[in-house]
């Protein structure tokens, strides 16, 4: 713990920049170009000292919070002149939160929700990518070795606007359920996201990205956390329409999406959902609904018919300070309507260096029909090296 406090203090005052890369390389825009900082390090590697690289990083700010970034990519990335690897980036990721139950008799927990490290980069030629990401925080119900490997994949982007991925990756089960922990707005996911989605599976998938449409479809083994070898098959697909995709952001950004995940793992399951999101300058709002006739999420496999929805609004007062509010409702068993769980959340995000270094403060009022209501304050920290 003392080491983490020292590390955080160092990064807080170390005005570094970030090279915007998604947690998973396959999520990067196929047409995106590296930052000037990274180009300089790669092209003239021998002419820059470590101190000069740090100073170059120091001079830049990170304004984009829609994607992940790395604080020390220019230092921890190596370009190879020969061999199968063109680049290799060593990274680390830490995300933790103090969860304080301020209800009568409540307690305080500190949750290391993500302690990860790995490598990613390009193979020779520039159209093939790879990542090997490992998790070192404990996962309830799974052995250390089952939870250790998470993103293990290779990807090819030689077809324009497409990426083909083979390996263990996060499946597109819902909008927020398929997104990286690094870029979700609150410390915790919405209830449908953490129950139905937020899971990785081994398979083959294709992602397409055009001005007016995106899609993500794939076939997978229905196993999670490497508990068994191919217990069944799963199909997962998500389609997003972008009606304002050709307006260059003049009227904002509108996404309308929907998808389905269906498969077999000792029992059959199907999860379907709809999503709408709008962003304009500093304002954002979204809504997502999901219905499950059984589900195979990160937490468990269930035969329940369940449903839920959430809506989030947010506004950036400054490029670094964002205010959030969310209403979240979930029914874990449609055959038992007396159990409806509602969460009312308010949050503040402070982006010290974009998503690479941020502080989070959330208040959550949990209103349950069958349990005592609770009030929680969550203090979160995120560091991506």
Annotate 291-323 with DSSP letters as a single string: EEEEEE-SS-EEEEEEEEEEEEEEEESSSSEEE
pLDDT surpasses 90 at 140: no
**Residue 99 — pLDDT band, cuts 50, 70, 90?**
confident
What is the per-residue pLDDT for 144?
A: 80
What is the per-residue pLDDT for 16?
A: 35
With respect to residue 120, please indicate whether it lies within any of the assigned structural domains: yes
Q: How far apart are alpha carbons 261 and 222 in whole angstroms? A: 11
With respect to residue 9, please indicate whether it lies within any of the assigned structural domains: no
Q: What is the pLDDT of residues 304-361, one digit of tens each?
A: 999 999 999 999 999 999 999 999 999 999 988 788 999 999 999 999 988 999 999 9
With respect to residue 136, please indicate whether it lies within any of the assigned structural domains: yes
**Cβ proximity of 120 and 132 under 8 Å:** yes
pLDDT surpasses 90 at 185: yes
Mean pLDDT confidence for 79-98: 92
Q: What is the pLDDT of residues 190-240, one digit of tens each?
A: 999 999 999 999 999 999 999 999 999 999 999 988 888 889 999 999 999
290 vs 59: which has the higher pLDDT? 290
What is the per-residue pLDDT for 45?
A: 47
With respect to residue 2, please indicate whether it lies within any of the assigned structural domains: no
With respect to residue 92, please indicate whether it lies within any of the assigned structural domains: yes
Domain count, the chain: 1
pLDDT surpasses 70 at 21: no
What is the per-residue pLDDT for 360?
A: 96
Mean pLDDT confidence for 119-146: 88
The H or E element that residue 276 is part of is: strand 268-280
What is the per-residue pLDDT for 338?
A: 81
Mean pLDDT confidence for 45-55: 64
Mean pLDDT confidence for 37-44: 35
Indicate the average pLDDT of the chain. 84
CA-to-CA separations, 128 to 41, 125, 284, in angstroms, rounded: 21, 7, 34
Nearest alpha carbon to residue 207 among 145, 251, 155, 277:
155
Q: At what angle do helices 50-58 and 36-43 cross, to 10 degrees?
A: 170
With respect to residue 373, please indicate whether it lies within any of the assigned structural domains: yes
Mean pLDDT confidence for 59-85: 84
pLDDT surpasses 60 at 35: no
Nearest alpha carbon to residue 70 among 198, 206, 180:
180
144 vs 84: which has the higher pLDDT? 84
> Percentage of the chain with pLDDT > 90?
62
Query: Which one of 44-53, 98-107, 312-321 scores highest in mean pLDDT?
Result: 312-321
With respect to residue 1, please indicate whether it lies within any of the assigned structural domains: no
Mean pLDDT confidence for 38-58: 55
Interstrand relation of 374-384 and 357-368 (parallel, antiparallel or unpaired): antiparallel
**Three-class secondary structure of residue 13 per DSSP:** helix
The CATH code of the domain that includes 257 is 2.40.160.10
Q: How far apart are alpha carbons 303 and 217 in whole angstroms? A: 24
pLDDT surpasses 70 at 46: no
Beta-bridged to residue 350, according to DSSP, are 321, 359
CA 164 to chain centre: 19
Residue-range definition of the domain harbouring residue 187: 14-384
List phi, psi (to 5°) of 266. Answer: 70, -25
Question: What is the DSSP track for 336-369?
Answer: -TT--EEEEEEEEEEESBTBTEEEEEEEEEEEES
What is the per-residue pLDDT for 8?
A: 40
The residue whose two tokens read 């560091």 is: 383
What is the per-residue pLDDT for 109?
A: 64
């Amino acid at each position: 713990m003392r080491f983490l406090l020292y590390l955080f203090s160092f990064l807080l005052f170390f005005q570094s920049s970030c090279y915007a890369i998604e947690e998973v390389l396959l999520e990067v825009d196929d047409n995106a170009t590296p930052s000037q900082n990274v180009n300089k390090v790669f092209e003239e590697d021998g002419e820059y000292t470590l101190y000069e690289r740090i100073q170059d990083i120091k001079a830049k700010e990170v304004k984009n919070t829609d994607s992940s970034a790395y604080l020390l990519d220019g230092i921890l990335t190596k370009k190879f002149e020969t061999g199968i690897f063109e680049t290799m980036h060593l990274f680390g990721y830490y995300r933790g939160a103090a969860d304080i139950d301020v209800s009568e008799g409540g307690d305080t927990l500190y949750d290391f929700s993500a302690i990860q490290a790995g490598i990613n980069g390009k193979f020779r030629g520039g159209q093939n990518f790879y990542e090997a990401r490992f998790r070192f925080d404990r996962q309830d119900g799974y052995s250390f070795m089952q939870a250790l490997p998470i993103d293990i994949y290779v990807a090819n982007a030689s077809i324009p606007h497409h990426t083909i991925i083979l390996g263990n990756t996060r499946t597109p089960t819902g909008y927020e359920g398929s997104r990286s922990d690094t870029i979700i707005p609150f410390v915790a996911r919405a209830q449908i996201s953490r129950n139905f989605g937020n899971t990785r599976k081994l398979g083959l998938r294709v992602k397409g990205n055009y001005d007016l449409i995106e899609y993500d479809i794939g076939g997978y083994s229905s196993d999670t956390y490497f508990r068994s070898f191919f217990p069944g098959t799963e199909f997962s697909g998500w389609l997003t329409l972008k009606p304002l995709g050709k307006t260059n952001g003049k009227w904002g950004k509108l996404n309308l999406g929907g998808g389905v995940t269906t498969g077999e793992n000792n029992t059959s399951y199907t999860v379907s959902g709809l999503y709408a999101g709008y962003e304009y300058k500093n304002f954002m709002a979204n809504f997502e609904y999901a219905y499950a006739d059984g589900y195979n999420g990160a937490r468990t496999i269930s035969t329940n018919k369940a449903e839920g929805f959430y809506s989030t609004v947010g506004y950036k007062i400054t490029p670094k300070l964002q205010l959030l509010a969310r209403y979240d409702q979930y029914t874990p068993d449609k055959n038992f309507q007396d159990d409806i769980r509602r969460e009312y959340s308010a949050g503040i995000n402070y982006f010290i260096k974009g998503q690479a270094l941020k502080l989070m403060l959330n208040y959550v009022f949990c209103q349950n029909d069958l349990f005592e209501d609770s009030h929680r304050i969550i203090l979160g920290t995120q560091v991506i090296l």
